[in-house]
Structure 1
Amino acid sequence: MTTDPYDIASIPPTLGAVVEAERGSLPFALIHGEGLVACAAWALGEAGITPIDHGTSWAALIESGEPLVLHDALCPMTPAAFLADCVRVSEERSAVVVAVRPVTDTVKQVEDGYVGATIDRDALVVVTSPIVLPAVVVASLDGLSSYDFATLAGQLAARFPVVTLEAPPAGRRVASLDDVRLLEALTRPA
């Protein structure tokens, strides 16, 4: 019997949004016969996070006094239990939580058009999903400055405490239909 490393237990009342803006048509590609955006939305609900629609004003988010989970439609198979765990860590540490995955590709320096030394990838991460904003951070913002999670994570880190959590392999980001097929194979039910 395989045990899920993340236990879904009750989390504080939390709002969540699936971010699909500025991602082209890929969020509407199918994985296991369902749209990526739908899979991401279902994970929010399974985690006990109340989904909001795109018409919700930032003022309403502030007024709710609840944390906000930003879940990227391009990370559609992120387990609900991991989303819930990110909310708990954000609450416990009063910090923004940013999910990351290790860098597995070789990364080289480029200087004056020439390929140089290999960069130690142990010091690098890829931002995935979710990004969890505690209620105090939501109240400090006028809205999102970027829908690009890596850019947003950097901007938030400049202003607020940030904790990174390693997302499970199913939480990887897709960038193409080939990536979707790979993720589908990785997450195929046994």
Structure 2
Amino acid sequence: MVKINYTAAILGALKKEEILKIGLKEADQDIFERIIENINTQLSATAALIAEKKQPTASCYYRRREKNRQRQEENLRRQEENRRRQEESLRRQNENRRRQEENRRRQKENNEKKPKESILEIIQEAKSISLTTDMWASSANKSYLAVTAHFISQNWEFNSCLLSCVECGFKLTSENLAAEIKRIIDEWRLTDQIFAVATDNAANIMRAVT
């Protein structure tokens, strides 16, 4: 903080006649005038310094402006970094969502896997298969044909699987029954594995399997 000598300022404002009144000699006037001049110089320098503190210089202004520019650039860089991180996070979320959807799809496919496909994997491992057939009529006078496969698995477990139970929408002749049984065997791809076929004593079904 700049200190001002108010006594010197008052003396600098006095006129020559007033100086003589306070007791200074004529011989001392030159010395006094020099003192007053120095005081005025100091006052001018003090005033200039005060003005400089109130109003920053051009170099200070440019330094501040450069600092503000650097701060703005740093803020932009941070904003860009945050945006990049957000995009990366969103990409990872989308990737995780895609994987979850893929897992759900696969799980759904496994859950919806047809029993026929599961049985087919087991039944095709058997070296030989025996079939049993049966026919009956419902109370609505509709005829049905059932074909069941019996086999021993590789673990020596006895298994029985219903291959088909269909309504017979055709005449129950031996030829039609033979064609339907063949269709069922071909559908399950068991042609080379059939060892025996057991039926009841109806003439048409017995002729169909011979």
TM-score of the aligned structures, taking structure 1 as reference length: 0.19
Q: Which has the higher helix share?
A: 2
Q: Which has the higher strand share?
A: 1
Between Structure 1 and Structure 2, whose CA radius of gyration is higher?
A: 2
With CA pairs under 8 Å and 6+ residues apart, which has the higher RCO, 1 or 2? 1
TM-score of the aligned structures, taking structure 2 as reference length: 0.17
